[in-house]
Amino acid sequence: MMENLKFGEPILITQPTLPDFSKYCSTISEIWENHWLTNAGPLNKRFEDKVKKYLDVDNIASFVNGHLALEIAIKALGLTGEIITTPFTFISTTASIINCGLKPVFCDINPNDYTIDCEKIESLITDKTSAILAVHVYGNPCDVEKIDKIAKKYNLKVIYDAAHAFGVKINNIAIGNFGDVSMFSLHATKVFNSIEGGLLSFKDKNIKKKLESIRNFGITSQESIDYIGTNAKMNEFQAAMGLCNLENIDENISKRKKIVNTYIEGLKSVKGLYTINMNNANIKRNYSYFPILINSKEFGMSRDLLFDKLKEYNVMTRKYFYPLCNKISAFKSESETPIAKSISDNILVLPLYADLSINDVLQIIDIIKYFNKK
Ligand code: T4K
């Protein structure tokens, strides 16, 4: 152990961004004035308006969390049968399909940015397929043009799990404008948080009422319940956090960018360690995660051993996303997705959050380099 490299306190994979305390207090003081806590309150409405502008989309609805938003999107689009999706994601994506009584059909990913491999989608389409649920994993945009072409050809709906992609743009078009519906997670661990929270942006403004009704038990008016719904309303404390954090979002993303560039520069000479190419000029990124891929032979140590060793030095990394969603014990799937398996077995996500100091990043790089030399 190189004692001088060990952190005194654990460096966590992430740390939520919090607004100035007095700012939050003054925002929530409105709740005491108007005695409105949840169920589409005034702060919630203000938040929806502001975040819609920030995300540069035509239609938006807010939810208590991203996961329920995803389930509600599936229900509101009236999907049935099978949905083609990626196994390389957080379990929420797969669970949303299964919880709605549908079958996830797993498509392999591409090895460059780990999003769904569009060349492999068509061979998985059957007469039961109703949609493609793709994930902009780590904020890397899917090939939205190819997915759109396939969806049009086979008359499928497209949902993007954009949980990681808040603020991302492709060719200056905000990412929530692609597909039929996009889901953004506003969980504490995300680039932008409302404590817990979720958003759906959607193309067809006619589904707005349905989405809002399903999030409120299917109630459409005091005397009519037109859908079997759930309770997925964002409360006023969440909306207040969203409003406050929205003011700092651009500053946070630029701090994250600096951290990511420091990692990339510091790690580029490390043998057997690969990072995603971030140099596509047409993509505006949000720097939500920093994954590294370990080739154990070249690096001299497996991903799992590196994970353990970094922990000894108080660097808390995560194996996002391991296990793969088609290899979990709770859900048996026969599908084989070799590229996703190899990425999932060798990926490690390094600590990244706006307030992580550059000195700490440099120290993490030194620790990784130290193991690389051994
Ligand atoms: N789709 C995708 C692709 C997703 O990644 C997610 C969520 C969803 C859908 C569903 O959206 P939500 O329903 O969550 O809005 C975390 C998050 O809980 C989850 O939101 C996220 N993806 C996933 C990738 O990461 P865990 O199990 O890793 O969380 P946990 O509790 O281990 O926290 C991670 C680290 O963050 C810890 O080191 C501690 C730190 N932390 C966490 C919290 C909550 C803090 O420092 N403070 C905090 O308040 O899932």
Confidence category of residue 374, pLDDT binned at 50, 70, 90: low
**Structure confidence by residue, pLDDT tens digits, 48-85:** 999 999 999 999 999 999 999 999 999 999 999 999 99
The span from the CA of 247 to the CA of 360, in Å, is 26
CA–centroid distance, residue 189 to ligand 1 (Å): 5
Average pLDDT estimate for 21-31: 98
Q: Is 107 helix (H, G, I), strand (E, B) or coil?
A: coil
Alpha carbon of 212 to ligand 1 centroid (Å):
25
Which of the four pLDDT bands, split at 50, 70 and 90, describes residue 332?
Answer: confident
Pocket test for ligand 1, best of 89, 90, 356 (most atoms within 8 A of CB): 90
CATH assignment, 249-373: 3.90.1150.10
Sheet of strand 129-135: strand arrangement: 60-63, 198-202, 181-185, 157-161, 129-135, 82-85, 103-106
Distance 186 CA to ligand 1 centre (A): 10
Provide the β-strand partners of residue 84. Answer: 105, 132
1 Cα–ligand 1 center, Å: 31
Q: What is the pLDDT of residues 281-293, one digit of tens each?
A: 999 999 999 999 9
Angle, CA of 150, 151 and 152, to the nearest 5°: 90
Is the CB of residue 196 less than 8 Å from the CB of residue 187?
yes
Domain boundaries along the sequence of the chain: 21-246, 249-373
| Pocket around ligand 1 at a 6 A CB cut-off | 12-16, 65-67, 89-90, 92-93, 135, 161, 163-164, 185, 187-189, 198, 316, 320
CA-based nearest residue to 344, from 320, 313, 327, 309: 320
Question: What pLDDT, on the 0 to 100 scale, is given for residue 3?
Answer: 82
Q: Which CATH number fits domain 21-246: 3.40.50.150, 2.60.120.10, 3.40.640.10, 3.40.50.10070?
A: 3.40.640.10
Is residue 367 classed as helix, strand or coil in its secondary structure?
helix
Closest residue by Cα to atom 16, ligand 1, is 189
Identify the residue whose C-alpha is closest to ligand 1 atom 31. 189
The string over 300-339, giving b where at least 16 C-beta atoms fall within 10 Å of a residue's C-beta and e elsewhere, is: bbebeebbebbeebebbbbbbbbebbbbeeeeebebebee
pLDDT at 359 over 70: yes
Q: Using one digit for the tens of pLDDT, what is the confidence trace for 93-151?
A: 999 999 999 999 999 999 999 999 999 999 999 999 999 999 999 999 999 999 999 99
What are residue 129's DSSP bridge partners? Answer: 82
Q: What is 73-95 written as a DSSP string?
A: HHHHTT--SEEEE-SSS-HHHHH
**Hey, how many other C-beta atoms are within 10 angstroms of the C-beta on 169?**
19
Identify the band that residue 309 occupies on the pLDDT scale cut at 50, 70 and 90: very high
Over 70: is that where the pLDDT of 295 sits? yes
Residue 14 CA, closest ligand 1 atom number:
36
* 282-310: average pLDDT: 97
Cβ-based neighbour number of residue 248 at 10 Å: 17
Separation CA 118–CA 137 (nearest Å): 14
CA-nearest residue, atom 24 of ligand 1: 90
Phi, psi (degrees; rounded to nearest 5) at 105:
-110, 120
Rounded Cα–Cα distance for residues 362 and 262 (Å): 8
**Distance from the alpha carbon of residue 350 to the mean position of ligand 1, in angstroms:** 14
Residue 323, C-beta contacts closer than 8 angstroms, at least 6 positions apart: 344
Q: Tens digits of per-residue pLDDT, 250-267?
A: 999 999 999 999 999 999
Residue 5 burial (CB < 10 Å; 0-12/13-18/19+)? middle
pLDDT reading at 1 higher than 80: no
pLDDT of residue 279: 84
Angle at 174 between CA 233 and CA 350, to 5 degrees: 80
Instruction: Quote the ligand 1 centre to 14 CA distance (angstroms).
Output: 9
- CA–centroid distance, 220 to ligand 1, in Å, is 32
Min mean pLDDT across 172-186, 202-216, 321-335 is at 321-335
Out of 187, 315, 352, give the residue to mutate to test ligand 1, the one with the largest number of ligand atoms within 8 Å of its CB: 187
Mean pLDDT computed over 162-178: 98
| Phi, then psi, of 62 in degrees rounded to 5 | -105, 155
Average pLDDT of the chain, as a whole number: 97
Taking the C-alpha atoms of residue 331 and residue 266, their distance in angstroms, rounded to an integer, is 40
User: For residue 137, what are the CA distances in angstroms to 175, 328, 367?
Assistant: 13, 19, 27
